[in-house]
Amino acid sequence: MAFRARGWRPPPPPLLLLLLWVTGQAAPVAGLGLGSDTELQIERRFVPDECPRTVLSGDFVRYHYVGTFPDGQKFDSSYDRDSTFNVFVGKGQLIAGMDQALVGMCVNERRFVKIPPKLAYGSEGVSGVIPPNSVLHFDVLLMDIWNSEDQVQIHTYFKPPSCPRTIQVSDFVRYHYNGTFLDGTLFDSSHNRMKTYDTYVGIGWLIPGMDKGLLGMCVGEKRTITIPPFLAYGEDGDGKDIPGQASLVFDVALLDLHNPKDGISIENKVVPENCERRSQSGDFLRYHYNGTLLDGTFFDSSYSRNRTFDTYIGQGYVIAGMDEGLLGVCIGEKRRIVVPPHLGYGEEGRGNIPGSAVLVFDIHVIDFHNPSDSISITSRYKPPDCSVLSKKGDYLKYHYNASLLDGTLLDSTWNLGKTYNIVLGFGQVVLGMDMGLREMCVGEKRTVIIPPHLGYGEAGVDGEVPGSAVLVFDIELLELVAGLPEGYMFIWNGEVSANLFEEIDKDGDGEVLLEEALASRSQLLYLMACPVPLVSSSQSTFTPRWHPAKGNSLLVLTLR
């Protein structure tokens, strides 16, 4: 509620019997309690516990009444018209007795008033309704009271400890409210609709009193806003639930606040001391998050799914505010990103995120990489003698600890008490590990960081390695057994000449071509690709240039 309705239609005017008065009648001072029929008598039948204000001369009141004669016969009732009687007090608009009887009343107070003829309709009466010289009894219930000098009244009954921002003109807000009249009668509630009221403030979308009453509120604040009718729906009401000349009381809880000019806001919670690299557009991030609305209402969490949210940034895969908010983060960083709705899910919202909602993401960056990344190698220790380096075909024994970039341990050969053993270059480990173990000497210790496209990719290893995870291996090489050189192994039929290389190198250019090696096939028992499977000597697709390595009856020609 509290919006300006169009096409208002005033209700039909009530029967204003009490607007009649006898011209020239004096208004004597009212008497309280028992007395003769010549005195005004007032009995306070119910007085509310709280009475912040009482009727003064000049106030405007709305009240219900039943008018009867002393014998109990009813001559008029506002209840029968289903409309309060609305009038200024002390300005001669009422019979003198009622003018006096209303003074000092509280909202929700009930009075029984006995008015003598001289303070009512006198010797003339009202033709056909009230006989001359009639004593009148009125059972009065006061519903509303205001004065033309009243302003909006604000009472804040809860304010959060932290209030970084308050409502200003042109802000957009989301709030819940209960709307009541001064007597406590509920006329509207956003809670009943289970939907906030969403509006701009200070630009005429609301009744003037609400526009003023919301200014200065914090998210999480609760206040009551009391609005006189001339700052609400005036003489005509809203044509539906709110009668004319009604004071309104709104009990408001502010849930959300932003301005269309807002950008995202970032609050760094934890920034690692060592931050060698910050995220850039095009990077792929893995991060955890809790998502809440500005009032703290939870809407989503990656933790509840026990899985990080994985995405490219700066390329439109996430809402615009997150695309911007994830730039420049470090691995291990925790930050809060506040996203206004025009950079979030807009006016429509999504799922359990309401329209026009400000979003708060508390994120923890687990890792990130770029698709163009290669492995990173950091040598932490090299022995004094580090001349023999690992190469393709070598048999390696090594220890390792495998972890994620955030330090989460995945696997450890030390914990298992045995080394990991492979032949290098033959697909027995992920490609990044194969690359990271090359040119390493026995006793060397190094850290190898492997991006997922050189590790376990998007799929990861179920239950062991998350998808798209960057891996960190701390490696110690313990043993290296040199493998056969890359090339072809010839088993020679007969003694090997000391000048065999020169004998095969027919053109004397210092290189053995395949054709030159095969020219000696009469002495060639068989030829084996080293370390690939046996091939026929008649195969014509061998790599053409070779270097020799000799031994007894074994000749290995290696690829240069």
Query: What's the pLDDT tens digit per position in 446-503?
Result: 999 999 999 999 999 998 999 999 999 999 999 999 886 555 555 555 666 777 777 7
**Confidence band of 22 (pLDDT split at 50, 70, 90):** very low
CA dihedral sign, ordered 170, 171, 172, 178: negative
Instruction: Please return the burial class of 297, using the count of CB atoms within 10 Å of its CB with bins 0-12, 13-18 and 19+.
Output: middle
| Sequence-distant (≥ 6) Cβ neighbours of residue 100 within 8 angstroms | 27, 29, 30, 40, 119
Mean pLDDT of the chain: 86
Least confident range from 358-367, 371-380, 474-483, 506-515: namely: 506-515
Query: For residue 166, what is the DSSP state?
Result: B
pTM for this prediction: 0.74
% residues pLDDT > 90 (the chain): 78
First-last CA distance in the chain: 85
Question: What is the rounded average pLDDT of the residues 531-558?
Answer: 36
Question: What is the rounded average pLDDT of the residues 10-23?
Answer: 36
Query: What's the pLDDT tens digit per position in 265-301?
Result: 999 999 999 898 999 999 999 999 999 999 999 999 9
Q: What is the pLDDT of residue 485?
A: 57
**Confidence band of 30 (pLDDT split at 50, 70, 90):** very low
Query: What's the pLDDT tens digit per position in 170-197?
Result: 999 999 999 999 999 999 999 999 999 9
| Sequence-distant (≥ 6) Cβ neighbours of residue 13 within 8 angstroms | none
Phi, psi of 76 (to 5 degrees): -165, 155
CA–CA gap between residue 548 and residue 533 (Å, rounded):
19
CA–CA gap between residue 130 and residue 76 (Å, rounded):
10
Choice between 414 and 541, residue whose per-residue pLDDT is larger: 414
Q: What is the pLDDT of residue 507?
A: 82
Q: Which of 471, 433, 282 is nearest to 372 (CA)?
A: 282
Q: What is the pLDDT of residue 493?
A: 56
Query: What's the pLDDT tens digit per position in 55-104?
Result: 999 999 999 999 999 999 999 999 999 999 999 999 999 999 999 999 99
Q: What is the pLDDT of residue 510?
A: 74
Q: What is the pLDDT of residue 17?
A: 39
Query: For residue 476, what is the DSSP state?
Result: E
Q: What is the pLDDT of residue 16?
A: 37
Instruction: Please return the burial class of 380, using the count of CB atoms within 10 Å of its CB with bins 0-12, 13-18 and 19+.
Output: exposed
Least confident range from 145-154, 176-185, 227-236, 546-555: namely: 546-555
% residues pLDDT > 70 (the chain): 82
**Confidence band of 506 (pLDDT split at 50, 70, 90):** confident
**Confidence band of 443 (pLDDT split at 50, 70, 90):** very high
Question: What is the rounded average pLDDT of the residues 111-140?
Answer: 96
Query: For residue 286, what is the DSSP state?
Result: E
Q: What is the pLDDT of residue 520?
A: 62
385 three-state secondary structure: coil
4, 106, 211, 253, 290 from 232: Cα distances, Å? 8, 22, 10, 19, 41
pLDDT exceeds cutoff 50 at 550:
no
Helices then strands, counting H and E runs in the chain, come out as: 9, 29
Task: Provide the 10 A C-beta neighbour count for residue 6.
Answer: 6
Q: What is the pLDDT of residue 523?
A: 55
